[in-house]
């Protein structure tokens, strides 16, 4: 169960990490990075000028390299690779520094393909997947409407059975559809008879399908975003994807896959920005020396790297766990159940990835100074292009509600042993932890107990209405996410030889986790009308945690290590 990391105080469970990538994975990553930096990056300006032909040509090159068919089973013309390869592709392609192209390709291999792979009939898979993998069929995902964004269940598009019962009549409008201008195939969510949420496969060339003008966007100017209108579009009976009335299950669970892939893309983009920023700061002279020598610059770089390392840890831990549970041979019902197990983690990856990239890009622009505001420098475009990542795949506000909502559900159903964990009160380090890291293990267990105590007080105060107290749910989601990052980073570092820079990383992540708990505890407990002695007790417990408080020294030492070993650290 994906939420069990919160209640596991006893033992160190092995997790998948970047260090466990196979030689084949690394070879693929090298190939993709060469394509990204040699074929896509030099053409970034042309792509961002909305050069449709160039974008489609590069997608064709991607297909020839196997980037579009990696996760498609061989029986449907694909390469049949694992999900880890898909994540690695998303991350590594981001080194192109061209978010427009990355998003276009990402939709093709993500939400534009996965609904068919996981929920399509055998005939639908055989018909569409070979073309998607070959780049001859472009896909788009049509969920959002003018009046239904985060409230996806409120869609108005409808499909009505034709009088002769030989098909459907589809009517409605979808908005902000990525790849709409490129797409040959639309995955459309509509309500049968205005009631039963259902997914449909709609070919672009059908009469009544109209793609609107390209939206004038803040960023991602080289990607296609447009509305799609369906006016009395006649569809064959077998155009439904999955079962009638179960479209929302497809929509929400496919978004889980989209979220972790977006987080992986953000991870790669963070590393690309940091590479460029380090290069610039080493070359830019002010007051007679490179600005990279200034401690204020180094602190920014250290802060960025702490979050990037934490993001890397949760991206690969999550995909490692998903790899074991989610397979293309599962029935739709089994797939929905398996996907929902990871709703919390994929939302965490999406939120933390998009917000880490926001920080890294902002610091990158600031370190570049005036040049960071000039389009010639890739950091300017990345800063603008990736603002939408906090909106894509469900806004970060919605994803925070998902995190707390699922943890609340697991607790109320007694699938998450919150009460027993609090009763155990174990603050000693978990079994299997290196003695070098035992102090971090003890601190983590203490923080888990404090986080669960805050959650218990909020649940006691609000009950199942906690989801309506959005501000409480948001703070709890941030706490749970930071615990997941600390937990994942500790387990990752525990699995290998422990380097000095990794101890510093853990020190800074531990301080970040403690400071977040301290910042949220008093207002949360006060709002929830907790006893005054509990407020002071938790505050005292946070203050009593034995952590190295010398943040400045740690940040400067970490920055020095990053500068000396940046190729290895940002690989």
Q: Active-site positions?
A: 393
Q: What are the structure tokens assigned to 472, written together? A: 């409480």
CA atoms of 561 and 569, how far apart (whole Å): 9
CA atoms of 394 and 262, how far apart (whole Å): 11
Per residue, the 3-state secondary structure of 232-276, as one string, reads EEEEEHHHEECCCCCHHHHHHHHHHHHHHHHHHHHHHHHHHHHHH
229: left (phi > 0), else alpha (psi -120 to 50), else beta? Answer: beta
CA atoms of 267 and 270, how far apart (whole Å): 5
CA atoms of 92 and 266, how far apart (whole Å): 10
Report the relative pairing of strands 209-211 and 196-203 from DSSP bridges: unpaired
CA atoms of 254 and 346, how far apart (whole Å): 11
How many CA within 13 A on the CB side of residue 530?
A: 22
197 pairs with which residues across the strands? Answer: 191
Q: What are the structure tokens assigned to 303, written together? A: 């802060």
Q: What is the dihedral of CA 85, 90, 91, 92, to 10 degrees?
A: 80
- Residue 286 belongs to what H/E stretch? strand 285-286
DSSP state of 36: I
CA atoms of 212 and 176, how far apart (whole Å): 10
DSSP state of 38: I
Residues 6+ apart with CB under 8 A from 112: 132, 138, 139, 140, 141, 179, 183, 185, 187
DSSP state of 429: P
| DSSP states along 204-230 | TTSTTEEE-PPP--SS-TTS-EEEEEE
């Amino acid at each position: 169960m994906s939420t069990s990391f919160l209640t596991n105080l006893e033992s160190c469970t092995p997790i998948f990490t970047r260090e466990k990538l196979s030689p084949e994975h690394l070879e693929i990553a090298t190939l993709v990075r060469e394509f990204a930096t040699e074929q896509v990056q030099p053409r970034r300006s042309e792509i961002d000028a909305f050069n449709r032909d160039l974008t489609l040509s590069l997608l064709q090159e991607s297909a020839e390299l196997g980037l579009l068919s990696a996760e498609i089973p061989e029986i449907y013309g694909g390469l049949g690779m694992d999900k880890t390869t898909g994540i690695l592709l998303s991350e590594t392609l981001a080194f192109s520094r061209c978010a427009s192209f990355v998003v276009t390709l990402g939709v093709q291999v993500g939400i534009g393909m996965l609904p068919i792979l996981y929920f399509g009939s055998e005939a639908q898979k055989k018909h569409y997947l070979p073309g998607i993998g070959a780049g001859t069929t472009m896909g788009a995902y049509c969920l959002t409407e003018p009046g239904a964004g985060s409230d996806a269940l409120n869609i108005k598009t409808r499909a009505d059975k034709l009088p002769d019962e030989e098909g459907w009549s589809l009517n409605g409008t979808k908005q902000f559809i990525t790849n709409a201008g490129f797409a040959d195939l639309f995955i459309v969510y509509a309500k049968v008879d205005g009631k039963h949420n259902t997914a449909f496969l709609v070919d672009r060339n059908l009469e009544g399908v109209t793609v609107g003008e390209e939206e004038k966007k803040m960023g991602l100017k080289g990607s296609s975003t447009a509305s799609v209108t369906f006016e009395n579009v006649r569809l064959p009976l077998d155009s439904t994807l999955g079962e009638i009335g179960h479209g929302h299950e497809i929509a929400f669970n496919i978004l889980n896959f989209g979220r972790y892939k977006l987080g992986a893309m953000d991870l790669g983009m963070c590393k690309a920005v940091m590479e460029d920023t380090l290069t610039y700061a080493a070359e830019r002279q002010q007051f007679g020396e490179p600005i990279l020598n200034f401690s204020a610059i180094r602190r920014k770089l250290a802060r960025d790297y702490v979050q990037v390392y934490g993001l890397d840890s949760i991206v690969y831990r999550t995909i490692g766990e998903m790899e074991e549970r989610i397979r293309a041979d599962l029935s739709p019902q089994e797939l929905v159940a398996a996907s929902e197990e990871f709703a919390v983690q994929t939302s965490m990856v999406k939120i933390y990835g998009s917000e880490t990239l926001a920080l890294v890009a902002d610091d990158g622009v600031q370190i570049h100074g005036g040049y960071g505001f000039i389009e010639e420098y890739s950091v300017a475009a990345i800063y603008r292009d990736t603002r939408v990542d906090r909106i894509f795949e469900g806004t970060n506000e919605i994803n925070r509600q998902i995190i707390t909502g699922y943890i609340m559900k697991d607790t109320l159903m007694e699938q998450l042993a919150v009460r027993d964990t609090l009763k155990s009160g174990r603050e000693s380090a978990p079994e299997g932890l290196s003695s070098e890291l035992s102090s971090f293990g003890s601190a983590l267990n203490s923080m888990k107990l404090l986080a669960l105590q805050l959650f218990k007080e909020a649940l006691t105060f609000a009950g199942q209405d906690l989801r309506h107290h959005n501000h409480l749910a948001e703070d709890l989601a941030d706490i749970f996410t930071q615990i997941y990052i600390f937990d994942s980073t500790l387990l990752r570092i525990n699995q290998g030889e422990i380097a000095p820079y990794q101890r510093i990383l853990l020190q800074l992540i531990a301080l970040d986790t403690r400071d977040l708990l301290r910042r949220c505890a008093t207002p949360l407990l006060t709002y929830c009308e907790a006893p005054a002695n509990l407020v002071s007790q938790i505050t005292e417990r946070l203050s009593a945690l034995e952590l190295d408080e010398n943040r400045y020294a740690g940040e400067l030492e970490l920055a020095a290590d990053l500068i000396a070993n940046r190729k290895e650290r940002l690989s």
